[in-house]
Amino acid sequence: MRRPVHRGGGSLAGSSGISRRAALRGGAGVALGAASLGVLPLFGTPDRKQDPATCTTRDLSESDRRLVVSNWPGYMDEDDEGYVSTLTEFQKRTGIEVAYTADVNDNLEFFAKVVNQLGSCQTSKRDLFMLTDWMAARMIQVGWIQPLDAAKVPNLHANLIDSLADVGWDPERKYSAPWQSGLTGIAYNKAKVKEVRSFEELLSRKDLKGRVTLLTEMRDTMGLALLAQGDDPAEFTDDQWDNAVDRIKKARSDGQIRAFTGNEYIQDLAAGNVLACEAWSGDVAAAEDENLVFVAPEEGQMIWSDNMLVPNLATHQTSAEEWINYYYEPEVAAKLAAYVWYICPVKGAQEAMEKVDPSLVDNPLIFPTAESLATTHTFMALEEFQVRAYEKDFADVTGG
């Protein structure tokens, strides 16, 4: 009953412009070429920023039992031959009619759908949507997201796993609630190549040359590159970043790297066109191919979440909070996790999985061990001028 989950990347491959060396050290005023203005999100401009305390509307949740949700494809269980999905159960329990749409295919693509509305304090016609950490952080920073009423989401604060409870961009989870989480590490096809244990091997092993892919998601790829040179992706310097960029550039110019991809890498890995790659844990699990092995790199791995967010002018915020609280019930979370096979962010779900599917109780891709979580890292929170500079630098690598 499991389905593959598709995550979108957030890099800007192919755009041109000034390097981060000049931009970051030059301060917050980053000069951008005309071509870049068309693709880079203009979060920081005064006309885009909002005050969530004043950009509000009347909550109709009590009188109008509806909820409009946008999520990623494959991220929800589905009714099927006697199986009743968690979504259907939510509607039956609450009487809330949910308009659920899987229209978040990429963070930047979704941003483009809502930027004009949210950036001018107009309704996005959604009550809840799910976005990856970095995009969630940016929307919160510019005031596009409503704070959650902690009293209405007690399960979130009681049951969120410790490793996700304190993030720099939303330390008290005042605005966000992780929907599902995943790990970024490496994968290889054991039928085609001997064991691969480190990110450095992807960049240098001769028997992998030309048959390696890295991800187009800047924070994942550069996070692992920083770890490979012994630096902390949660806190690094200009020089450390520059060194990591140069290392990836060299691997590409040497022909080591075949391509930078989204999650389409999994097909090439299974076919043997790619021998080893940077990978997302859920993609490997969803492939259901015994030859594909997901590995936590020796240097460490990145952890990320896709987060539930209530946008400004949502007309059913209380219903959205009821949804969040429901999905943080361990039994509900376990049922969903058995379907999507990503890291479950809910305490108690592992114990509840005994009744849902005992074979998954010890699955490390759903319930990582404490030892595995101890190897995970997050990417440093960035100011807007840094985001633009980093993305341009990474675009020089992926488009090079």
- Residue 79, pLDDT > 90, answer yes
The mean pLDDT of 182-200, rounded to a whole number, is 97
The mean pLDDT of 206-215, rounded to a whole number, is 97
Q: What is the pLDDT of residue 46?
A: 55
pLDDT in tens, 141-182: 899 999 999 999 999 999 999 888 888 889 899 999 999 998
Please say whether the beta carbons of 281 and 182 come within 8 A.
yes
Q: Identify the DSSP state of 387.
A: H
The tokens for 292 are 């594909």
Q: What is the pLDDT of residue 373?
A: 84
To the nearest 10 degrees (0 to 180), the angle between helices 349-356 and 330-340 is 70
Q: What is the pLDDT of residue 384?
A: 75
Query: What whole-number distance in Å separates Cα of residue 135 and Cα of residue 107?
Result: 7
pLDDT in tens, 237-255: 989 999 999 999 999 999 9
Q: What is the pLDDT of residue 47?
A: 63
Q: What is the pLDDT of residue 30?
A: 29
The more confidently predicted of residues 385 and 190 is 190
Q: Mean pLDDT lowest for which of 26-40, 44-58, 243-257, 335-349?
A: 26-40
The mean pLDDT of 113-142, rounded to a whole number, is 95
Q: What is the pLDDT of residue 167?
A: 84
* Residue that has been written with the tokens 């949910």 in this structure: 98
% of the chain with per-residue pLDDT over 70: 88
- Residue 18, pLDDT > 50, answer no
The more confidently predicted of residues 383 and 352 is 352
- Residue 101, pLDDT > 50, answer yes
- Residue 338, pLDDT > 90, answer yes
Q: What is the pLDDT of residue 172?
A: 93
- Residue 102, pLDDT > 70, answer yes
Average pLDDT, the chain: 87
The mean pLDDT of 200-214, rounded to a whole number, is 98
In this structure, the dihedral spanned by the alpha carbons of residues 300, 240, 386 and 25, taken in order and rounded to 10 degrees, is: 170
The mean pLDDT of 379-395, rounded to a whole number, is 87
- Residue 37, pLDDT > 50, answer no
pLDDT in tens, 298-314: 999 998 899 999 999 99
Q: What is the pLDDT of residue 55?
A: 97
Query: What whole-number distance in Å separates Cα of residue 250 and Cα of residue 269?
Result: 23
pLDDT in tens, 313-326: 999 999 999 999 99
Q: Nearest CA to 346 among 164, 185, 193, 125? A: 164
Query: What whole-number distance in Å separates Cα of residue 247 and Cα of residue 249?
Result: 5
Confidence of residue 44 (pLDDT cuts 50, 70, 90): low
Q: Mean pLDDT lowest for which of 31-45, 213-227, 380-394?
A: 31-45
pTM of the model: 0.78
Query: What whole-number distance in Å separates Cα of residue 339 and Cα of residue 85?
Result: 10
